[in-house]
């Protein structure tokens, strides 16, 4: 009777095979995602989107770096530069006209101020003729009183304000001397010091004099003046009140700054001289420009024609710039398309290289798994053959039963015989 021996063999890879299969499946999905991303590469935005999908978890670090470089992280700067070049002609045209407009506006304002100064000189001459005082010469003396630190125009403004309020020539020159010393001792601009003194005295506003260190009060000044002239304070006229305040301010200023004896700031004198020279030049220019301005002002048709001529000139220069702008835009668009195609081809090439590399890795992994399984099967087969050999060497079971039966019969026969 043949004996059947059943042997169970459990081949276990300790989870290694399952893990390798899972890694292969994940790698396949990553390659499919990369292929879908590459199909969308067409421009700057698409390139960046594709580069974002190529993560180091799906590729090796070297492949990720290569793909990121191909997709282009510096493309935005190049694109912006191309757009800026497309706007070049129009931007230059705008900048040119803006600069010219600013220059014309500044020139117009300068000529207008020069004309106002010219009219002020004529006005002072007429006022001087009516009052019997040479206000032009007084203005020059006032400039000398400030050691040349203010322009002739500023001196004329101070002279006009002071004389219109009834101050005498001596009071005006004293104001110039006090303003110069206050400016030097307190570090205040000379023009500002002169303006504060003249406006504070003529308007009876002591608040304007506080920053000059002069704190004369109107009430006390009028009381002292009324007592000096033998009048009641309430009976003083506006002229007498201004005289009282002017005398008090000048007296306080002289007492406070009596020890000051410093030359005027040379830069202030240089600036004042520049203003005077500029005024002289602008007066010469005005002699030629003013007749034209008067003609355009009195002739609306001529003014309209001048505006039309200027507008026509602007349009003639703008049309070529606009055409150039459109051409540059087309050129920029073509360049963008070319760059997009180059990026797409580069990305596709990199993807193909990566796909081949990954396919080789997958095949190598499959071969390794197959070899591992083959080795495990060979090991199991060897163990099975060893067990079979041991089983073939053992005596059959029937032989042992026969021997046991014979032994029992022999013992029974011996007992019977005995």
pLDDT in tens, 136-184: 889 999 999 998 999 999 999 999 888 888 888 899 999 999 999 999 8
Count, residues in the chain: 418
Q: Is the pLDDT of residue 68 over 70?
A: no
Exposed, middle or buried, 209 (CB in 10 Å: 0-12/13-18/19+)? Answer: buried
pLDDT in tens, 372-407: 877 777 777 777 677 666 555 555 556 556 666 666
Q: Is the pLDDT of residue 9 over 50?
A: no
Q: What is the mean pLDDT of residues 14-34?
A: 59
Range with lowest mean pLDDT among 92-96, 229-233, 333-337: 92-96
Q: How far is residue 73's CA from residue 358's CA, in Å, rounded to a whole number? A: 25
pLDDT value for 170: 92
pLDDT value for 325: 65
pLDDT value for 187: 87
pLDDT value for 7: 44
Q: What is the mean pLDDT of residues 8-19?
A: 50
Q: How many CB atoms lie within 10 A of CB 350?
A: 20
Q: Where are the domains of the chain?
A: 133-296
Task: Report which of residues 390 and 64 the model is more confident about.
Answer: 390
pLDDT value for 255: 92
Is this structure's pTM higher than 0.85?
no
Q: Is the pLDDT of residue 32 over 50?
A: yes
Q: Is the pLDDT of residue 12 over 60?
A: no
Q: Is the pLDDT of residue 410 over 60?
A: yes
According to DSSP, residue 127 is labeled H
What residue has token string 């020059």? 140
pLDDT value for 391: 54
Q: What is the mean pLDDT of residues 315-327?
A: 69
Contact 350, 34 (CB under 8 A): no
pLDDT in tens, 344-383: 888 888 888 877 787 788 888 877 877 887 777 777 777 7
pLDDT value for 79: 53
Query: Nearest Cα to 209, choosing from 242, 170, 182, 191?
Result: 182
* Mean predicted lDDT score pLDDT of the chain: 76
pLDDT value for 349: 82
pLDDT value for 96: 73
Q: How far is residue 358's CA from residue 24's CA, in Å, rounded to a whole number? A: 10
Q: Is the pLDDT of residue 239 over 70?
A: yes
pLDDT value for 56: 43
pLDDT in tens, 289-319: 999 989 988 988 988 998 888 888 777 776 6
pLDDT value for 252: 93
CB neighbour burial string for 268-290, b if at least 16 within 10 angstroms, e if fewer: bbebbeebeeebeebeeebeeee
pLDDT value for 61: 46
pLDDT band at 223 (very low <50, low <70, confident <90, very high): very high
């Amino acid at each position: 009777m043949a004996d059947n021996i059943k042997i169970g063999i459990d081949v276990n890879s300790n989870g290694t095979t399952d893990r390798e299969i899972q890694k292969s499946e994940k790698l396949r999905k990553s390659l499919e995602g990369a292929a879908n991303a590459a199909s969308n590469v067409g421009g700057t935005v698409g390139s960046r989107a594709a580069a974002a999908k190529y993560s180091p978890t799906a590729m090796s670090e070297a492949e990720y770096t290569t793909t990121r470089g191909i997709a282009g992280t510096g493309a935005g700067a190049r694109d912006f530069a191309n757009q800026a070049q497309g706007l070049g002609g129009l931007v230059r045209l705008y900048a040119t006209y803006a600069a010219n407009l600013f220059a014309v506006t500044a020139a117009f304002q300068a000529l207008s101020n020069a004309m106002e100064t010219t009219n002020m000189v004529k006005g002072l001459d007429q006022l001087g003729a009516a009052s019997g005082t040479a206000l032009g010469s007084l203005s020059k003396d006032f400039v000398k009183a400030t050691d040349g630190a203010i322009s002739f125009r500023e001196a004329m403004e101070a002279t006009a304000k002071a004389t219109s309020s009834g101050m005498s020539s001596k009071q005006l020159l004293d104001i110039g001397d006090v303003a110069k010393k206050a400016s030097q001792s307190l570090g205040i601009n000379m023009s500002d010091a002169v303006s504060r003194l003249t406006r504070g005295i003529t308007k009876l506003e002591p608040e304007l004099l506080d920053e000059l260190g002069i704190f004369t009060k109107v009430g006390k000044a009028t009381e002292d003046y009324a007592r000096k002239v033998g009048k009641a304070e309430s009976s003083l006229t506006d002229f007498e009140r201004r005289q009282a305040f002017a005398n008090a301010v000048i007296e306080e200023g002289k007492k406070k700054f009596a020890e000051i004896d410093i030359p005027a700031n040379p830069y202030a004198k240089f600036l004042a001289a520049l203003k005077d020279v500029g005024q002289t030049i602008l007066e010469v220019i005005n002699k030629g420009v003013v007749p034209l301005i008067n003609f355009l002002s009195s002739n609306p048709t001529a003014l309209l024609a001048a505006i039309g001529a200027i507008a026509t000139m602007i349009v003639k220069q703008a049309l070529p710039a606009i055409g150039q702008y459109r051409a540059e835009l087309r050129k920029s668009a073509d360049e963008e398309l070319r760059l997009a195609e180059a990026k797409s081809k580069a990305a596709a090439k990199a993807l193909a290289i990566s796909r081949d590399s990954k396919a080789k890795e997958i095949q190598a992994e499959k071969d390794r798994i197959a070899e591992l399984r083959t080795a495990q099967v060979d090991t199991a087969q060897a163990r099975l053959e060893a067990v079979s050999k041991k089983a073939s060497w053992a005596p059959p079971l029937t032989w042992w039963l026969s021997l046991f039966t014979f032994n029992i019969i022999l013992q029974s026969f011996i007992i019977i015989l005995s």
